[in-house]
């Protein structure tokens, strides 16, 4: 039997940060948590199996950041430690 949970899926979360960088960061982190980007087993340094599974099949491939430049840069800086592409509408670079 085929495991249907491994199939790619498309999802979307649209929020309004009202051009407030702190709100944009908060919404982005809540979204990442909601889609299971931060798996609790990944927090264990000795859990090589969890890290291997994570590298084989990422659950999230990119984040579209807020429209305003200040919020987009703030989100990019907050997510910088992760290997996660971030697309921005108005920011030249982060």
Name the nearest CA neighbour of 38 among 21, 51, 25, 24.
Answer: 51
Please state the domain extents for the chain: 20-87
Question: For position 65, what pLDDT does the model report?
Answer: 83
Question: For position 16, what pLDDT does the model report?
Answer: 86
pLDDT top residue among 56 and 38: 38
How many CB atoms are located within 10 Å of the residue 68 CB? 19
Rounded CA gap, 26 and 12, in Å?
16
Q: pTM of this prediction?
A: 0.64
Name the nearest CA neighbour of 27 among 39, 37, 17.
Answer: 17
The vertex-56 CA angle with 52 and 83, nearest 5°, equals: 90
């Amino acid at each position: 039997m085929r495991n249907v949970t491994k199939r790619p899926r498309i999802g979307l979360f649209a929020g309004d940060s009202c051009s407030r960088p702190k709100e944009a960061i908060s919404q982005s982190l809540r979204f990442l948590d909601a889609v299971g980007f931060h798996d609790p087993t990944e927090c264990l340094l000795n859990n090589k199996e969890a890290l291997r599974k994570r590298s084989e099949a990422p659950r999230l491939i990119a984040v579209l950041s807020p429209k305003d430049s200040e919020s987009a840069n703030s989100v990019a800086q907050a997510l910088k430690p992760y290997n996660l592409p971030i697309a921005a509408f108005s920011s030249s670079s982060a």
